Structure 1
Amino acid sequence: MPTVRTLRSLLGICALTLGLTVAMAAAPTKAHAQVPVLCSETSLVNAINSANAAGGDTLALFPFCTYQLTSAHGTSPHGAVGLPPITTPITLLGLGVTITRASGAPAFRILQVEGAANVPGTKGQLSAVGLTIRGGSAVSPYPGGGLSNLGGTVSMLSSSVTGNTAVAGGGIYNDNGSVTLTASSVTGNQATSSGGGIYVNSGGVTLLGTVVRDNTPDNCAPSGSVVGCT
């Protein structure tokens, strides 16, 4: 089991990646010291809960860790969520980090961001760097297998959303919020209806140097909702 001392020494590897977050539009407005997160499901769940309670934080994920989620740790009217819904400005700072639903785990999406436009009293903002979201499966009939953004703000840099499933928005579902993907990819996701990669119910999704391809039955829906994606 990695120790906090070991983690702190490895965090130096992330310094360059952290610098890139300055350019991310959804970065928390308050400065926070990095909070190291050991390579375990419990550590990540507890860190997000603590960050929400503190009004936001920057979580330095353990480099090259695969966080395997064995059960849902969040609930909402939109179905089960693997991690606690993000309701404050939170940065997930990774380097080769994957968050995935464990084999044999019940159905749930990986991440959900909640903002005041959809969930009164919340101010969810997610900034993710060097992160892969994999294997989410939203409970039918709810959308957003990898990530569901409900009125919040999401910025992803050098990240990947892959191998997720849902009725719509197999990779990403956006409703009344803002999503910006920079130097990232949305690939190999599946929807049983439409928007295998990204489904925009309302709000906006911006792609900057980002690849959205090889999703089923289509990459983005409705047609024309995401500039540069079909």
Structure 2
Amino acid sequence: MRTVRTLRSLLGICALTLGLTVAMAAAPTKAHAQVPVLCSETSLVNAIDSANAVGGDTLALFPFCTYQLTSAHGTSPHGAVGLPPITTPITLLGLGVTITRAPGAPAFRILQVEGAANVPGTKGQLSAVGLTIRGGSAVSPYPGGGLSNLGGTVSMLSSSVTGNSAIAGGGIYNDNGSITLTTSSVTGNQATSSGGGVYVNSGGVTLLGTSVRDNTPDNCAPSGSVMGCT
């Protein structure tokens, strides 16, 4: 019973965090109860699949969990994706949560958001709070090792994108969509061509109190595409 009470208490903290940041992070268009997600790869994959199926949801990730992805659970013309592509408004509500590619797993990016501008019939919106995206590796020649936003909308608060790699946009790749990073960080990512941290093919990336640094061979590309990123 003590374990149950502790879990409920931690989920309550997550709920409070979301309530304080709802004005800053995009939220699902429908009102949904938070869906608790146990600390396992299968639980997270199934929760995203279910959220897409019902038109969007808020997923309360298990506090301080590291979700290790052992294989790709999504496919697209832009390469393999660790989690199912986000095609509806989904909030990933975390507290010290990491989503990472497991050691020895095949190459795949961690997250992909798909919107109508790139993928007809989709309306992907990702709101992430208290989340670290780590260890993604996009299959060459596809960009976006940690996160690829293809025509969707992404809002990340108090989150981190680190240790990911791709030909371009080692951490984040944006095409025809919009990304807002608030009090977050993009560090230690790598690209074989350019945009070690962030690569903007089109659309816009906004940094609010966010650090983009120590990425290889550069932080943001093309030069001048992300205001405040050098």
TM-score, scaled to structure 2: 0.97
Cα offset, 1:13, TM superposition: 2.2
The question of whether the paired residues in 2 share the 8 Å contact of 1:197 and 1:216 is answered with yes
Cα distance between partner residues in 2 of 1:94 and 1:114: 21
Alignment size in residue pairs: 230
Cα offset, 1:3, TM superposition: 7.9
The question of whether the paired residues in 2 share the 8 Å contact of 1:130 and 1:158 is answered with yes
The question of whether the paired residues in 2 share the 8 Å contact of 1:8 and 1:36 is answered with no
Cα distance between partner residues in 1 of 2:88 and 2:67: 21
Cα offset, 1:88, TM superposition: 0.1
Cα offset, 1:11, TM superposition: 0.5
The question of whether the paired residues in 2 share the 8 Å contact of 1:138 and 1:144 is answered with yes
Give the aligned CA root-mean-square deviation in angstroms: 1.7
Cα offset, 1:135, TM superposition: 0.2
Cα distance between partner residues in 1 of 2:139 and 2:29: 33
- Residues 36 and 4 from structure 1, CA distance in 2 versus in 1: closer, same or farther, beyond 3 angstroms? farther
Residue-by-residue CA offset, 1:111-137 (whole Å, 9 max, x unaligned): 000000000000000000000000000
Residue 34 (structure 2) pairs with residue 12 (structure 1): no
Tell me the secondary structure at the aligned position of residue 118 of structure 1: coil
- Residues 117 and 223 from structure 1, CA distance in 2 versus in 1: closer, same or farther, beyond 3 angstroms? same
Cα distance between partner residues in 1 of 2:133 and 2:2: 22
The question of whether the paired residues in 2 share the 8 Å contact of 1:7 and 1:36 is answered with no
Gaps of 5+ in 2: none
Cα distance between partner residues in 1 of 2:159 and 2:7: 21
Cα offset, 1:28, TM superposition: 1.6
Residue-by-residue CA offset, 1:152-188 (whole Å, 9 max, x unaligned): 0000000000000000000000000000000000000
The question of whether the paired residues in 1 share the 8 Å contact of 2:25 and 2:156 is answered with no
Residue-by-residue CA offset, 1:94-147 (whole Å, 9 max, x unaligned): 000000000000000000000000000000000000000000000000000000
Runs of 4+ in structure 1 off by over 3 angstroms are 1-9
Structure 1 residues 95-134: aligned runs within 5 Å:
95-134=95-134
Tell me the secondary structure at the aligned position of residue 95 of structure 1: strand
Cα offset, 1:5, TM superposition: 7.0
The question of whether the paired residues in 2 share the 8 Å contact of 1:3 and 1:38 is answered with no
Gaps of 5+ in 1: none
Among all aligned residue pairs of Structure 1 and Structure 2, give the percentage whose two residues are the same amino acid.
Answer: 95
